[in-house]
């Protein structure tokens, strides 16, 4: 009878140990899964934040390049700029345009949000209007509307990464 009691006690002890180990494993696994989900969300938030800021910086640089090109074209018409300077401004604008387009593609990949598309379209519209500006006052007015559109974009983007 003592042997049976010893075996039963040992079996209960082993069973308790196994149940304790199994429950610890399950709790640790759940904790690790939750931590991974939080890390994944934080990485996505960081990616979105980087994409938003990269896009805003790229379109702002493109605006600068387009305004420079606009002034160089006006000076070239009055023979105040050399052809090389005009070509350099054109190449710079093309490079900046490609960078802005790449930033927009990346933004759509990591944060494709239908609510941001009209804001991005407004930014593009103002950028496109720069080359058609009739005079310096028109460029200044377009630049002001561009800045308003970028501010609206940044405000909307900030709400999405908080």
pLDDT along the chain (162 residues), means of 10: 74 75 76 73 90 96 96 82 85 97 94 90 97 96 97 94 83
CA–CA distance, 60 with 148 (Å, rounded to integer)? 12
**What pLDDT, on the 0 to 100 scale, is given for residue 48?**
92
**What pLDDT, on the 0 to 100 scale, is given for residue 157?**
93
CA–CA distance, 162 with 42 (Å, rounded to integer)? 11
**What pLDDT, on the 0 to 100 scale, is given for residue 40?**
84
**What pLDDT, on the 0 to 100 scale, is given for residue 80?**
65
**What pLDDT, on the 0 to 100 scale, is given for residue 112?**
80
Q: Is pTM beyond 0.75 here?
A: yes
């Amino acid at each position: 009878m003592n042997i049976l009691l010893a075996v039963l006690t040992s079996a209960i002890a082993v069973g308790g140990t196994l149940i304790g180990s199994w429950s610890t494993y399950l709790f640790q696994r759940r904790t690790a899964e939750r931590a991974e989900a939080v890390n994944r969300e934080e990485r996505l938030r960081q990616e979105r934040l980087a994409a938003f800021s990269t896009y805003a910086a790229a379109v702002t640089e493109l605006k600068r390049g387009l305004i420079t090109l606009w002034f160089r074209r006006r000076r070239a018409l009055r023979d105040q700029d050399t052809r090389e300077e005009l070509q350099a401004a054109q190449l710079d604008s093309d490079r900046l345009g490609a960078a802005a387009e790449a930033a927009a593609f990346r933004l759509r990949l990591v944060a494709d949000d239908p609510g941001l598309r009209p804001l991005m379209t407004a930014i593009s519209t103002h950028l496109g209007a720069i080359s058609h500006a009739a005079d310096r006052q028109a460029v200044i007015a377009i630049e002001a509307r561009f800045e308003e559109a970028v501010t609206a974009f940044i405000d909307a983007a900030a709400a999405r990464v908080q």
